[in-house]
């Protein structure tokens, strides 16, 4: 009785000896080859070759060992996504109707434990929305292109605001050119102009075109003031001054993202193979490993406690995330308690190393866009530097909770 020296797919093992004596099989590494249904060697390839010892036992001390090499995995397909592996590269592609739409190419270093790998993003596939083909760009080229798109959008929008302010009669068609068709949504219209004119009044006949235009301009001017203050400018700043500041801020922000993308990240990964209705299929998941040398908010993706969301659970589900942009740590605190769900957005202030105060508030709307009272919250966050945070709510609620790091999954740009 012989077995192949190398395997890269499932293999049917002999069930009996030539004389009919039944054989039982065992594997010394079930993560590489496991025995299903007594005689199916389920071969689970990984990111490096593995050596497995299979033992055939015919009873009465009659055993025989076979050393088999499980070959390195080269590809996993998952829906519209494909992972391709070489010894030192990982390519992650996503297809739409059979056409490659986005993709990432990483340099890959696999830990000998076959539970972790480190990747460095080297190239990003970019395709224009209406094009059937694209190109692989460096990280810098990709983010430079994204910055161009962002600045073009802002430029067109602010020039549109300026043009509206110069019109003597503003119509819905004029607004649609600046806000796109979404301005015809009553809720969206009222969120922008409702303080001065409602959607019903603008579309109705009770006001003259001149009165409607005057009220729309008041809404536009309020928007200008808010944009100016948001960018740290004087309330009197012009649209051109706001545009110049926005472009400068975007440049810094996109460079920061590009630098982060070029940083190496270590992932904890798992490759499994499961029996499905369509046959055996690979499953692959990879999540960023917690890095204790980084501040908690630089460990992406989020932090959460381990409670399940049960209607009568005594402890709420809690999620926390923070990101530092332009020197400010912003983020959210999400609390699910039974049927209640509250999402507080705000800022984090570092009181001393590894200790932060979060000050946030709800946005004043329910999931259907209806106004509800704004609620405030304050919480103290302590980074324990071991993949956990201690969260203590000091106002707007109460309780102390331990949050665990939940690493961001390997994803596409």
Q: Kind and range of the H or E element at 161?
A: helix 139-165
Q: How confident is the model at residue 300, as a pLDDT?
A: 77
Tokens of 369: 């866009």
Instruction: Tell which residue, 40, 111, 75, 54, has the closest CA to residue 279.
Output: 40
Structural domains of the chain sorted by starting position, each given as residue range(s) with its CATH number in brackets: 6-70 (2.60.40), 143-258 (no CATH), 296-407 (2.40.128)
Contact between 25 and 56 under an 8 Å Cβ cutoff? The reply is: yes
- Supply the pLDDT for residue 119: 97
| pLDDT < 70: residue spans in the chain | 306-314, 338-339, 367-369, 412-413
* Cα(15)–Cα(21) distance, integer angstroms: 8
Please tell me the distance from the alpha carbon of residue 411 to that of residue 413, in angstroms, as a whole number: 7
* DSSP-assigned letters across all residues of 7-56: ESS-EEPPSB-TTS-B-EEEES-TTTEEEETTTEEEE---SS-EEEEEEE
Phi first, then psi: give them for residue 253, nearest 5 degrees: -65, -45
Instruction: Report how far apart the first and last C-alpha atoms of the chain are (Å, whole number).
Output: 51
- Confidence (pLDDT) at 180: 81
What was the pLDDT predicted at 311?
42
**Helices (runs of H) and strands (runs of E) counted in the chain:** 6, 23
């Amino acid at each position: 009785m012989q077995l192949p020296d190398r395997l890269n797919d499932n293999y049917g093992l002999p069930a009996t000896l030539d004389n009919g004596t039944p054989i039982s099989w065992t594997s010394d590494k079930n993560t590489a080859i496991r025995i299903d249904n007594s005689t199916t060697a389920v071969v689970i390839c990984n990111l490096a070759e593995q050596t497995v010892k299979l033992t055939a036992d015919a009873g009465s001390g009659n055993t025989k060992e076979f050393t088999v090499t499980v070959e390195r995995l080269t590809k996993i397909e998952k829906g519209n996504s494909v992972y391709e592996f070489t010894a030192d590269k990982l390519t992650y592609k996503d297809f739409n109707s059979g056409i490659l739409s986005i993709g990432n190419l990483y340099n890959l270093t696999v830990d000998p434990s076959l539970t972790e790998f480190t990747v460095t993003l080297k190239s990003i596939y970019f395709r224009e929305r209406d094009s059937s083909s694209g190109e692989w760009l460096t990280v810098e080229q990709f983010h430079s292109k994204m910055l161009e798109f962002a600045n073009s959008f802002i430029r067109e929008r602010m020039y549109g605001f300026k043009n509206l302010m110069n019109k003597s009669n503003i119509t819905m068609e004029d607004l649609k050119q600046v806000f796109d068709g979404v301005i015809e949504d009553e809720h969206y219209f009222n969120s922008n102009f409702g303080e001065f004119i409602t959607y019903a009044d603008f579309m109705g006949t009770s006001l003259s075109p001149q009165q409607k235009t005057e009220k729309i301009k008041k809404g536009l001017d309020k928007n200008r003031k808010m944009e100016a203050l948001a960018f740290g400018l004087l309330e009197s700043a012009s649209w051109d001054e706001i545009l110049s500041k926005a472009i400068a801020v975007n440049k810094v922000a996109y460079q920061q993202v590009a630098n982060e993308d070029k940083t190496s990240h270590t992932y904890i990964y798992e490759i499994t193979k499961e029996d499905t209705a369509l046959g055996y299929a690979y499953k692959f998941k990879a999540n960023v490993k917690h890095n204790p040398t980084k501040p908690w908010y630089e460990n992406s993706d989020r932090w959460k406690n381990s409670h399940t969301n049960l209607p009568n659970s005594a402890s709420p589900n809690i999620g926390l995330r923070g990101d530092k942009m332009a020197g400010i740590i912003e983020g959210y605190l999400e609390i699910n308690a039974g049927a209640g769900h509250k999402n507080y957005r705000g800022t984090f202030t570092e009181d001393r190393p590894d200790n932060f105060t979060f000050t946030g508030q709800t946005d004043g709307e329910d999931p259907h866009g209806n106004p509800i009272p704004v609620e405030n919250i304050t919480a103290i966050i302590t980074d324990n530097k071991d993949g956990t945070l201690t969260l203590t709510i000091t106002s707007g609620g109460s309780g102390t909770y331990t949050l665990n790091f939940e690493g961001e999954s390997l994803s596409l740009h």
